Chain A
Amino acid sequence: MRSKLTGLLAGLSITLASSTSAWSQELTIFWAEWDPANYLQELVNIYEAETGVKVTVETTPWSDFQTKAFTEFNAKGSAYDMVVGDSQWIGAASEAGHYVDLTEFFNKHNLTEVMAPATVKYYAEYPSNSGKYWSIPAEGDAVGWSYRKDWFEDPKEMEAFKAKYGYDLAPPATWAQMRDIAEFFHRPDENRYGIAIYTDNSYDGLVMGVENAIFSYGGELGDYATYKVDGIINSEQNVKALELYRELYGFTPPGWAKAFFIENNQAITENLAAMSMNYFAFFPALVNEASNPNAKNTGFFANPAGPGGDQFAALGGQGISVIEYSENKEEAMKFLEWFIKDETQKKWAELGGYTASAKVLESEEFQNATPYNKAFYETMFKVKDFWATPEYAELLIQMNQRVYPYVTAGEGTAKEALDALAADWNATFKKYNRVQE
Chain B
Amino acid sequence: MGRERALATAVMTTLDPKSRAASRGMSDIAIRNLFIIPTIVFLIVFNIFPLLYSLGYSFTDFRASSPAAANFVGLQNYRELLNDPFIWTNFAITAKYVIVSVVGQVIVGFGVALLLNRDIPFKGLITTLLLLPMMLSMAVVGLFWKLLYDPSFGIINYVLGLGRFEWLSNPDVALYAVAITDIWMWSPFVMLLSLAGLSAVPKHLYEAAAIDRAGTLYTFFRITLPLVAPILMIAIIFRTMEAFKTFDLAYIMTSQPTTEVISIRLYKMAFQEWQTGRSCALAYIVLIMVLAITNIYVKYLNKVKER
Contacts and interface: CB of A to CB of B under 8 A. Distances in A.
A96 B171 contact: no
Contacts of A71: 271
B181 interface: no
Given A74-B64, A96-B65, A96-B66, A258 B256 contact: yes
A21 interface: no
Interface string A76-103: 0000000000000000100011000000
A270 B271 contact: no
Contacts, number: 45
A18 interface: no
Nearest to A199: B169
Interface string A385-411: 000000001100100000000000000
B164 A393 contact: no
Contacts of B152: 255, 266, 270, 272
Nearest to B66: A96
Interface in B258-307: 271-274
B166 A74 contact: no
Contact of A254 (B65, B151, B255, B257): B151
A97 B273 contact: no
Contacts of A97: 67
B170 interface: yes
Contacts of B168: 258
A63 B254 CA distance: 11
B271 to A, nearest CB: 6
Given A67-B271, A270-B152, A393-B273, A257 B64 contact: no
A97 B166 CA distance: 44
A70 B169 contact: no
Contact of A255 (B65, B66, B170, B256): B170
Contacts of A255: 151-152, 164, 166, 169-170
Contacts of B274: 70, 74
Contacts of A393: 272-273
A74 B169 contact: no
B297 to A, nearest CB: 32
Nearest to B68: A96
Interface in A20-69: 63, 66-67
Given A202-B255, A258-B256, A74 B65 contact: yes
A394 B64 contact: no
A67 to B, nearest CB: 5
Contacts of A272: 152
Interface residues of B, number: 20
Interface in B206-263: 254-257
Interface string B47-83: 0000000000000000011110000000000000000
A64 to B, nearest CB: 9
Count chain A CB atoms within 10 A of each CB in B65, B272, B274 and give the residue with the most: B65
Contact of B67 (A67, A96, A256, A266): A96
Contacts of B66: 96
Contacts of A202: 255
B104 to A, nearest CB: 24
A66 B272 CA distance: 8
A201 B257 CA distance: 9
A345 B67 CA distance: 36
Contact of B65 (A70, A258, A397): A70
A255 B169 CA distance: 6
B73 to A, nearest CB: 14
B171 A257 contact: yes
A271 to B, nearest CB: 10
Nearest to B166: A255
Contact of A394 (B170, B255, B273): B273
A80 to B, nearest CB: 17
Nearest to A67: B272
Contacts of A74: 64-65, 274
A74 to B, nearest CB: 5
Contacts of A66: 272
A67 B271 CA distance: 7
A74 B271 CA distance: 9
Given A67-B271, A67-B272, A74-B274, A257 B67 contact: no
Interface in B156-186: 164, 166, 168-171
Count chain B CB atoms within 10 A of each CB in A66, A74, A256 and give the residue with the most: A74
B205 to A, nearest CB: 53
8 nearest CB pairs, A to B: A258-B169, A255-B166, A202-B255, A255-B151, A255-B169, A74-B65, A254-B164, A74-B64
Given A201-B257, A258-B255, A393-B272, 4 more contacts: A71-B271, A96-B67, A255-B152, A258-B169
5 contacts: A63-B255, A67-B271, A70-B65, A70-B272, A202-B255
Interface of A: 63, 66-67, 70-71, 73-74, 92, 96-97, 201-202, 254-258, 266, 270, 272, 393-394, 397
